Amino acid sequence: MSDVLKKYLPSHSVIPVFKMIEENRVHLKIVNERVTRHGDYRRMTDGTHQITVNANLNKYRFLITLVHEIAHLVAFEHFGRRIKPHGYEWKITFRNIMLPFIRPEIFPNDLLPLIANHFKNPKASSDTDARLSVALKNFDSENDKNYIFEIPQGGVFRIYNGKVFKRGQKLRKRYECLEMATGKVYLFQPNAEVELVAG
């Protein structure tokens, strides 16, 4: 397992992550990309724990995602199954488990302050932290995606499910976008990844 982890994680995080996986009896599955999630945790009917993480994540996002899912397991075991999945107990658990990894041997210096800031009050997804999400994208493989904030106002774009939108104005944090087929208006996070159709 540790040999597999070397392919997906920053090198200095492999041994402590492997220990966490063993200690918590996690069955880790590395799966093809799912657009709607980076990873998930399930307690199986036989009492074992399964965590899945997308194979296409860069090593820093992979580490954050894997620790995020382990934090679900640990929080449920420690506080009980009735807690909210991304509530106070999970946030504390996630922050405490992640803290030893927030150091320059593991993350590049330009990511460290953004990660430290994010873990003051971690969100359900690192994607909702636009600054961190954009910084993490710099370590992704090249792709043809743009962020919503990069699309010019009035520009037309397509999302993962094929729906086509026209970018409208920015509200406080999110962008109003008109779905071309239905005329409905949706709000998009500035760091939503989309495919530009026409600028």
pLDDT digits (tens, 9 = 90+) for 134-168: 888 888 877 777 888 889 999 999 998 899 999 99
Walk along the chain (199 residues) and give the pLDDT tens digit of each residue.
678 899 999 999 999 999 999 999 999 999 987 777 889 999 988 888 999 999 989 999 999 999 999 999 999 999 998 999 899 999 999 999 999 999 999 999 999 999 999 999 888 877 778 788 888 888 887 777 788 888 999 999 999 889 999 999 998 888 999 999 999 999 998 888 888 887 5
We report the CATH number of the domain holding residue 154 as 2.30.30.30
Q: Are residues 158 and 130 in the same domain?
A: no
The whole domain housing 174 covers 146-198
Last residue of a domain, one of 116, 137, 158: 137
Q: How far is CA 126 from CA 17, 20, 74, in A?
A: 19, 21, 19
The CA radius of gyration of the chain, in Å to the nearest whole number, is 18
In terms of phi and psi (left: phi > 0; alpha: psi -120 to 50; beta: otherwise), the region of 80 is left
Q: Are residues 38 and 85 in the same domain?
A: yes
Instruction: Select from 137, 167, 186 the last residue of a domain.
Output: 137
Of 137, 169, 188, which one is at a domain's C-terminal end? 137
Cβ–Cβ under 8 Å, residues 51 and 73: yes
pTM of the model: 0.79
